[in-house]
């Protein structure tokens, strides 16, 4: 298969995965991306403070887009920003009681999505897939 055909198939898969992921959050008051952000914060905040720059890296998007996303979650009552005691310039992202109430549901939906993608794929093929993803990531910087 040539690169053009492969990229076309990859693009179609990417769009299909996005629609599939969105479907896991139908009926929730959050978009799939908002739920993914909250899932990241739920997991990571157990061991360390989470900042907007962490979301930039996790999502691979620019700071202005993360700021907009965080602002929307904050307006919706799912997040708040708290100054660090040791340095007030830094604002960590903190889950509100509203987001903590739906944390288990978010974790379950994200978990089911991830598991469903890899059903029937042997471990060896997953290792090859991971290696290819790492090489592609290096290729684009």
The percent of residues in the chain predicted with pLDDT above 90, rounded, is 83
Q: In CATH, what number does 3-139 get?
A: 1.10.10.10
> How far is it, in rounded angstroms, from Cα 20 to Cα 24?
7
Q: What is the pTM of this model?
A: 0.85
> How far is it, in rounded angstroms, from Cα 44 to Cα 102?
16
Q: For 58-100, how does the pLDDT look when each residue is reduced to its tens digit (9 = 90+)? A: 998 888 999 999 999 999 999 999 998 887 788 999 999 999 9
Under 8 Å CB-to-CB from 76, ≥6 apart: which residues? 29, 30, 34, 98
Residue 85 pLDDT: 83
Instruction: Please report, for the chain, the start and end positions of each structural domain, with discontinuous segments joined by +.
Output: 3-139
Q: What is the mean pLDDT of residues 35-52?
A: 96
> How far is it, in rounded angstroms, from Cα 99 to Cα 53?
20
Pick from 1-10, 52-61, 105-114, 128-137: least confident: 1-10
């Amino acid at each position: 298969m040539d690169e053009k055909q492969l990229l076309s198939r990859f693009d179609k898969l990417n769009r299909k995965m996005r629609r599939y992921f969105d479907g896991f959050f139908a009926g929730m008051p959050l978009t799939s991306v908002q739920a993914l952000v909250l899932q990241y914060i739920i997991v990571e905040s157990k061991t360390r403070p989470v900042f907007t720059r962490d979301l930039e890296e996790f999502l691979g998007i620019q700071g202005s887009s993360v700021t907009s996303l965080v602002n929307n979650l904050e307006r919706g009552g799912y997040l708040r920003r708290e100054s660090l005691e040791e340095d007030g310039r830094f604002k960590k992202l903190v889950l509100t009681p509203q987001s903590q109430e739906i944390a288990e549901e978010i974790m379950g939906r994200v978990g089911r999505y991830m598991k469903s993608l890899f059903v029937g794929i042997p471990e060896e093929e997953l290792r090859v897939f991971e290696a290819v993803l790492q090489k592609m990531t290096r290729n684009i910087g």
